[in-house]
Amino acid sequence: MSLGGDVPEPQPRDAVVTAGHTGEGAADLKTHPTDVSPAEFIDGLSPQRRVDDGRALLELFDRVTEQPAVMWGPSMIGYGEIHYRYATGREGDTFRVGFSPRKSAVSLYGLQGHPRSEELLGRLGKHRTAVSCVYVNKLADIDLDVLEQLARHAWTSAPRSC
Protein backbone atom coordinates (compact mmCIF):
# COMPACT_ATOMS: atom_id res chain seq x y z
CA MET A 1 0.00 0.00 0.00
CA SER A 2 1.44 3.38 -0.89
CA LEU A 3 0.95 6.71 0.74
CA GLY A 4 -1.23 8.91 -1.33
CA GLY A 5 -3.06 12.14 -1.11
CA ASP A 6 -1.83 15.39 0.32
CA VAL A 7 1.15 14.94 2.60
CA PRO A 8 1.61 17.93 4.91
CA GLU A 9 4.95 19.69 5.03
CA PRO A 10 6.95 18.98 8.18
CA GLN A 11 6.49 21.63 10.84
CA PRO A 12 9.65 23.06 12.40
CA ARG A 13 9.81 22.61 16.16
CA ASP A 14 12.13 24.33 18.58
CA ALA A 15 12.92 23.59 22.20
CA VAL A 16 11.03 25.87 24.58
CA VAL A 17 11.55 26.68 28.25
CA THR A 18 9.00 28.69 30.25
CA ALA A 19 8.87 29.82 33.85
CA GLY A 20 6.64 27.88 36.21
CA HIS A 21 5.40 24.34 35.95
CA THR A 22 2.46 22.70 34.28
CA GLY A 23 2.45 19.17 35.62
CA GLU A 24 2.55 18.03 32.00
CA GLY A 25 5.36 15.64 31.25
CA ALA A 26 6.39 12.31 29.93
CA ALA A 27 5.01 9.44 32.01
CA ASP A 28 8.47 7.97 32.57
CA LEU A 29 10.01 11.03 34.24
CA LYS A 30 11.53 9.97 37.55
CA THR A 31 12.68 13.30 38.98
CA HIS A 32 9.91 15.13 40.79
CA PRO A 33 9.73 17.43 43.80
CA THR A 34 9.54 15.54 47.09
CA ASP A 35 8.60 16.43 50.66
CA VAL A 36 12.08 15.59 51.99
CA SER A 37 13.77 18.49 53.80
CA PRO A 38 16.90 19.60 51.91
CA ALA A 39 18.62 20.52 55.20
CA GLU A 40 17.90 17.07 56.68
CA PHE A 41 19.12 15.40 53.48
CA ILE A 42 22.39 17.33 53.68
CA ASP A 43 22.82 16.60 57.39
CA GLY A 44 22.55 12.87 56.61
CA LEU A 45 25.45 12.88 54.13
CA SER A 46 28.96 11.59 54.71
CA PRO A 47 31.80 12.34 54.84
CA GLN A 48 31.69 15.61 56.76
CA ARG A 49 33.12 17.53 53.76
CA ARG A 50 29.93 16.75 51.79
CA VAL A 51 27.82 18.00 54.70
CA ASP A 52 29.87 21.21 54.96
CA ASP A 53 29.80 21.82 51.19
CA GLY A 54 26.07 21.07 51.06
CA ARG A 55 25.30 23.50 53.89
CA ALA A 56 27.40 26.21 52.22
CA LEU A 57 25.60 25.69 48.90
CA LEU A 58 22.19 25.66 50.58
CA GLU A 59 23.00 29.00 52.20
CA LEU A 60 24.39 30.47 48.96
CA PHE A 61 21.46 29.40 46.75
CA ASP A 62 18.91 30.42 49.43
CA ARG A 63 20.49 33.89 49.53
CA VAL A 64 20.69 34.26 45.74
CA THR A 65 17.19 33.02 44.88
CA GLU A 66 15.28 34.09 47.99
CA GLN A 67 13.19 30.96 47.32
CA PRO A 68 12.73 27.80 49.36
CA ALA A 69 14.94 24.86 48.49
CA VAL A 70 13.10 21.76 47.24
CA MET A 71 14.36 18.20 46.96
CA TRP A 72 13.94 16.86 43.44
CA GLY A 73 14.26 13.09 43.44
CA PRO A 74 16.53 11.51 46.00
CA SER A 75 19.60 13.77 45.69
CA MET A 76 19.03 17.07 43.83
CA ILE A 77 18.18 20.36 45.53
CA GLY A 78 16.47 22.86 43.27
CA TYR A 79 15.10 26.39 43.27
CA GLY A 80 12.25 27.72 41.18
CA GLU A 81 10.44 25.74 38.54
CA ILE A 82 10.46 25.72 34.77
CA HIS A 83 8.61 23.75 32.14
CA TYR A 84 10.54 22.46 29.14
CA ARG A 85 9.51 21.01 25.81
CA TYR A 86 12.22 19.57 23.60
CA ALA A 87 12.02 19.83 19.83
CA THR A 88 11.06 16.14 19.87
CA GLY A 89 7.89 16.99 21.80
CA ARG A 90 9.04 15.40 25.08
CA GLU A 91 8.28 17.73 27.98
CA GLY A 92 8.39 18.02 31.73
CA ASP A 93 9.00 20.23 34.74
CA THR A 94 12.29 20.80 36.54
CA PHE A 95 14.03 23.39 38.71
CA ARG A 96 15.76 26.54 37.37
CA VAL A 97 18.99 26.33 39.36
CA GLY A 98 20.26 23.89 41.94
CA PHE A 99 22.89 21.47 43.10
CA SER A 100 23.60 17.97 44.31
CA PRO A 101 26.44 17.24 46.76
CA ARG A 102 27.32 13.87 45.22
CA LYS A 103 30.15 11.64 46.43
CA SER A 104 32.37 12.05 43.39
CA ALA A 105 31.73 15.76 42.79
CA VAL A 106 29.30 18.55 43.51
CA SER A 107 26.91 18.96 40.57
CA LEU A 108 25.67 22.50 39.87
CA TYR A 109 22.65 22.85 37.62
CA GLY A 110 21.25 25.69 35.49
CA LEU A 111 24.36 27.88 35.53
CA GLN A 112 25.40 27.56 31.88
CA GLY A 113 24.09 29.12 28.69
CA HIS A 114 23.38 32.62 30.02
CA PRO A 115 25.00 35.79 28.61
CA ARG A 116 27.89 35.99 31.13
CA SER A 117 28.15 32.31 32.06
CA GLU A 118 31.36 31.60 30.16
CA GLU A 119 33.12 34.67 31.57
CA LEU A 120 32.14 33.75 35.14
CA LEU A 121 33.01 30.08 34.66
CA GLY A 122 36.44 31.21 33.47
CA ARG A 123 36.97 32.85 36.87
CA LEU A 124 35.33 30.11 38.98
CA GLY A 125 38.36 27.93 39.65
CA LYS A 126 38.87 24.20 39.22
CA HIS A 127 35.74 22.71 37.59
CA ARG A 128 34.56 20.79 34.55
CA THR A 129 31.40 21.11 32.50
CA ALA A 130 29.02 18.79 30.71
CA VAL A 131 25.90 19.51 28.67
CA SER A 132 23.84 20.78 31.60
CA CYS A 133 26.10 20.58 34.66
CA VAL A 134 29.10 22.21 36.21
CA TYR A 135 31.10 19.74 38.32
CA VAL A 136 33.29 20.76 41.25
CA ASN A 137 35.28 18.22 43.28
CA LYS A 138 34.98 20.32 46.44
CA LEU A 139 34.04 23.91 47.21
CA ALA A 140 37.59 24.62 48.41
CA ASP A 141 38.65 24.35 44.72
CA ILE A 142 36.55 27.33 43.60
CA ASP A 143 35.94 30.99 44.35
CA LEU A 144 32.61 31.11 46.21
CA ASP A 145 32.15 34.81 45.41
CA VAL A 146 32.31 33.97 41.71
CA LEU A 147 29.92 31.04 42.24
CA GLU A 148 27.48 33.42 43.90
CA GLN A 149 27.76 35.83 40.96
CA LEU A 150 27.24 32.94 38.54
CA ALA A 151 24.20 31.63 40.42
CA ARG A 152 22.70 35.14 40.69
CA HIS A 153 23.30 35.75 36.98
CA ALA A 154 21.62 32.46 36.06
CA TRP A 155 18.71 33.13 38.43
CA THR A 156 18.02 36.61 37.06
CA SER A 157 18.50 35.66 33.39
CA ALA A 158 15.63 34.27 31.35
CA PRO A 159 15.34 30.49 31.56
CA ARG A 160 17.60 28.98 28.94
CA SER A 161 16.47 26.81 26.10
CA CYS A 162 17.26 23.11 26.31
> What's the average model confidence in pLDDT over 136-150?
98
Contact 42, 52 (CB under 8 A): no
Q: What percent of the chain has pLDDT over 70?
A: 80
> What's the average model confidence in pLDDT over 118-138?
96
Query: Whole-model pTM?
Result: 0.82
Give 38-81 pLDDT, tens digit per residue. 999 999 999 999 999 999 999 999 999 999 999 999 999 999 99
Inform me whether the pLDDT recorded for 94 exceeds 90. Answer: no
End-to-end CA distance of the chain: 39
As a whole number, the mean pLDDT across the chain is: 87
CA distances to 22, 25, 159 from 16, rounded to whole Å, are 13, 13, 9
